Chain A
Amino acid sequence: MKYSLGDRVMSVTIHALLALLAFVTFYPFWNALVISFNSGFDTSLGGVTFWPRAFTLENYDIVFQDSRITNAFFVSILRTVVGTFLSIVFTAVFAYGMTKRELYGRKVYMIIGLVTLYFSGGLIPSYMLIREIGLTNSFWVMVIPGIISVWNMIIFRTFFQGLPVGLEESAKIDGCGDWGTLFRIVLPLSGPVIATLSLFTAIYHWNDWFTPSIYITSEKWLPIQTMLKQILNANIMTEQMAQLDSAAQNAMDQMKNVTTKSLSMATMMVATLPIVCVYPFVQKYFVKGVLIGSMKE
């Protein structure tokens, strides 16, 4: 097929714009990575953009020696694993129950669930509730309130309903109860949907910083994102103070090779690390997952 001049101009423009977009998206990440591997003092001299100029692992060394940060990292991992596992199990059980036509009051339960997608009590009443039942300052505040996702329930249910009816019947005949059928027949056949929903739930748990920031005050249970937020805020404070008194700041910087900026970049990289690690493997799932999630009933 022949392309006209107009088509070729358009094609070149589009390729250039897309390349620019990819660069603009990637650069902040790359720059932060570079700064995290650059000596803090050297970074403060300016001009560190694409490559580390004074390569060092010192920033990471200090980050990993900081017990608050390593502790927060493990809290995040624990929260992600426990939170995702419990949420997926409880939601799947809920969804499986909702596929049963003989379930008494099924319509009512569905309405109860659907209403929560549109209405909520809002931040303050939820906050008061959590305080009143004494969940504050515990690990479980990050797991229990959001354990049931009505969206995920609907997606699970749609998937379960698509499974062949005969399978369940033969399981029943072989003596499986409801629980046995769910855990031994239905769930093992639901690999793709479990993978997708687990991925989204896990990312939510890994990234959520707000819940712990209002409910948890003791450092013991602060996850890494919340910790990072505090570090970044402290960083901004120093930057704003530095503007008032840049001479004092310079003197401070020269005393050590590590600056608040290089440290916060290293912490940011640590907090993103798990996502970057799993990203290549899960990419094919989430594209499908978005499409499942967008389907209406």
Chain B
Amino acid sequence: MVVPAILFILIFSYIPMYGTLMAFQDYNIFKGFWESPWVGFKHFEMFFHSPDFWLVMRNTVVISLLKLLIGFPAPILLALMLNEVRKMAFKRIVQTISYLPHFMSWVIVAGFTMSMLSTDNGSINILLQKVNLIDEPVNWLSTTEYFWGILISANVWKEIGFASIIYLAAISGVNPDMYEAASIDGAGKLKQMYLITIPAIMPVVIIFLILAIGNLLSAGFEDILLLATNPALREVSDVLDTYVYRVGIKSSRFSYATAVGLYKAIISIGLLTAANLIARRTGNSLW
């Protein structure tokens, strides 16, 4: 019964793994994988010496750090706030609305973002003009300074609600007696949140933080591809994954792109292993 599944996995996951060897070849589409000449580390050196390298690395690291710094605590904060709501109807409405964007494709989310930011009567421009912060519509999505902010906001908008589910579940596991005891001892709501709820969800937070560190080089793909449609944004938007896509599939430089992809994979494995080592120290090993 497992044979078909294993076959599918071998074909569609393992053959590409083997195919990564292309990074050490001058892959020629007409000669194919077996006939193309081997060139050692040529493509890696080319990447490291190209001006793209620093740009792409900077964007990758900055964007993923921003995502970690803002996108990671946001759902925890939301869960903590939702936990304080006693009116079930209100809580349910907020939750239902905040989960919804997770189920929409990035195409739709990017469409919303563009529509909101559009110079052609986008709501953000209208609002800012009404409160006299700006005089005329700003072309948000063509300006390099705003791109990171827009990208992170769109990400938080899409995932904050859904990501909070797991923390809410962790919070609901806290023994209610603890809150009662604390309030008898005179702790206010804020103090209870700080002294009981947050320590109680720490193990879950740490696991997810470690997982996030392992993915530090995956700064994003679909979101960037769809939001940075203006080539002028490339100097702030190009990350490792989009770079691989652009030089590999758009420009057909297969070996070079594979080398870049492999470079990313190797560093990611390193990060993941390191993250797991830290996890093991804290008693939360992933595997």
> Would A93 and B115 count as touching, CB distance under 8 A?
no
* Interface: B248 (CB within 8 A): yes
Given contacts A121-B15, A206-B105, whether A243 and B139 have CB atoms under 8 Å apart is yes
* Chain A binding surface SS class: helix
Q: How far is the CA of A44 from the CA of B97 in the complex (A)?
A: 29
In the complex, A46→B122 CA distance in Å?
A: 8
Task: Report chain B residues within 8 Å CB of A236.
Answer: 114, 141, 229-230
* Segment at the B interface, from A23-31, A57-65, A166-174: A23-31
Q: Which of B50-58, B63-71, B183-191, B195-203 contacts A (4 or more CB under 8 A)?
A: B183-191
Distance between Cα atoms of A120 and B110 in the complex (Å)? 27
Specify the chain B residue showing the minimal Cβ separation from A130: B12
Beta-carbon contacts under 8 Å, A1-51 to B: 1, 3-4, 6-7, 10-11, 14-15, 17-19, 21-22, 24-29, 31-32, 35, 43-49
B96 touches A (CB below 8 Å): yes
| Chain B interface helix/strand/loop/mixed | helix
* B-chain residues with CB within 8 Å of residue A98 when the two chains form the complex: 2
Q: How far is the CB of A242 from chain B (nearest CB, A)?
A: 7
Shortest B23–chain A CB gap in Å is: 9
Q: How many A-B residue pairs have CB under 8 A?
A: 245
Find out whether the CB atom of B261 lies under 8 angstroms from the CB atom of A124: yes
Docked complex Cα distance between A160 and B112 (Å): 41
Flag A180-205 by CB within 8 Å of B: 1 or 0 each: 00100000000000000000000100
Whether A145 and B12, one on each chain, are in contact in the complex, defined by CB atoms closer than 8 angstroms, is: yes
CB distance from B143 to the nearest CB of A (A): 13
Q: Is A283 an interface residue (CB 8 A)?
A: yes
Proximity bits, A114-140, B CB within 8 Å = 1, else 0: 001011111111111100000000000
- How far, in whole Å, are A35 and B100 apart by their CA atoms in the complex? 20
A248 an interface residue at 8 Å Cβ cutoff? no
List the B side residues contacting A47 at CB < 8 Å: 121, 126
In contact, B6 and A22 (Cβ under 8 angstroms): no
Q: B100 near A112 (CB under 8 angstroms)?
A: no
A116, B13: Cβ atoms closer than 8 Å: yes
Partner of B120, one of A22, A24, A121, A242: A242
Chain A contributes a number of interface residues (CB within 8 A of B) equal to 97
Partner of A125, one of B11, B22, B112, B157: B22
Q: Give chain B interface residues in 53-86, CB to chain A under 8 Å.
A: 78, 81-82, 84-85
Of chain A, the residue at the smallest CB distance from B1 is A97
Please indicate the chain B residues that have their CB under 8 angstroms from the CB of A14 in the complex. 81, 84-85
Cβ B19 vs Cβ A128 within 8 A: yes
A29, B96: Cα distance in complex, Å: 14
Contact A25 B6 (CB under 8 A): no
Residues of chain B within 8 A (CB-CB) of A80 are none
Query: Please, how many residues of chain B have a CB less than 8 angstroms from a CB on the other chain?
Result: 86
Which residue of chain B lies nearest to A11 when distances are taken between CB atoms in the complex? B84
Are A120 and B112 in contact, with the CB atoms below 8 A? Answer: no
Answer whether residue B118 sits at the interface, using C-beta atoms and an 8 A cutoff.
yes
Contact call A275/B18, Cβ cutoff below 8 A = no
Q: Chain A contacts of B5 at CB under 8 A?
A: 90-91, 93-94, 97, 148, 153
Q: Do residues B9 and A287 form an inter-chain contact, with CB atoms below 8 A?
A: no
Given A22-B98, A120-B16, A123-B245, are A32 and B81 also a contact pair (CB < 8 Å)? no
Where the two chains meet, the residues of B that have a C-beta atom closer than 8 Å to any C-beta of A are: 1-2, 4-6, 8-20, 22, 33, 78, 81-82, 84-85, 90, 93-94, 96-101, 103-108, 110-116, 118-121, 123, 126, 139, 141-142, 157, 160-162, 165-166, 169, 183, 188-190, 222, 225-226, 229-230, 241, 244-245, 248-249, 254, 257-258, 261-262, 264-265, 269, 272
| CB-defined A-B contacts under 8 Å, sample of 20 | A7-B190, A17-B81, A18-B81, A18-B90, A21-B98, A26-B97, A94-B4, A121-B18, A123-B241, A124-B22, A126-B12, A129-B12, A144-B8, A145-B12, A146-B12, A179-B1, A236-B114, A261-B118, A271-B108, A291-B166
Please provide the 5 A-B residue pairs with the shortest distance between their CB atoms, ordered closest to farther.
A121-B16, A125-B19, A97-B1, A207-B105, A94-B5
